[in-house]
Structures are given as structure tokens and as C-alpha cells.
Amino acid sequence: MNQNLPQDLDRESLNQLSKEELVEIIIEQGKAICELQKTILELHLEVERLKVSRDLDSSTSSKPSSGDILKKSGNKKASML
């Protein structure tokens, strides 16, 4: 955001700004919102990808069954504690 603009965008501060300064704030906020929406979408897609990969085992993928055994033995150790 423009360095000359107030940090606190309360009603009183905004009322003292010119139309051009207000337009600049709106444009900068629009850009920030767009970037945040892109980040949210990327994170959502990554979460979905991780959920799918988490659910894959030898019966639902081409992974060897030896990987399943490691997971099961790790769960047994955790439940024994």
C-alpha cells in the first residue's frame, strides 16, 4: 500500500482522505484480495491432493504391500504406549 496513507483505516481517517487516495486504497485491497484468493485455492488443492495420497495403500494403488506393513506396525507401537 502507499506509504503516505494512514495505517489505521478507521472512518475518521478515511473521511480525511481525497478521492484519489481512497481509490488507491480500494485498488490495493483488490490486488491483495486476489492474491489471497489464489493462495486459498492453491492450499485447498494441496489439501485435497494430500487427502487422496493419504488414503492410498497397496489395495488402491501401485504401491508395494510392504509399505502397508510399516504403517500397521507403527500403529501397533503407538497403541501399546
Q: Please, which residues have CB within 8 angstroms of residue 56's CB and are 6 or more apart in sequence? A: 63
Q: In the structure grid, which three cell numbers stand for residue 58, read together?
A: 497397496
Q: In the chain, what are the domain boundaries?
A: 11-80
3-state helix, strand, coil in the chain (%, to 5): 70, 0, 30
Mean pLDDT of the chain: 79
pTM above 0.75, yes or no: no
Q: What is the pLDDT of residues 10-25, one digit of tens each?
A: 999 999 999 999 999 9
Given this model, what pLDDT does residue 34 score? 97
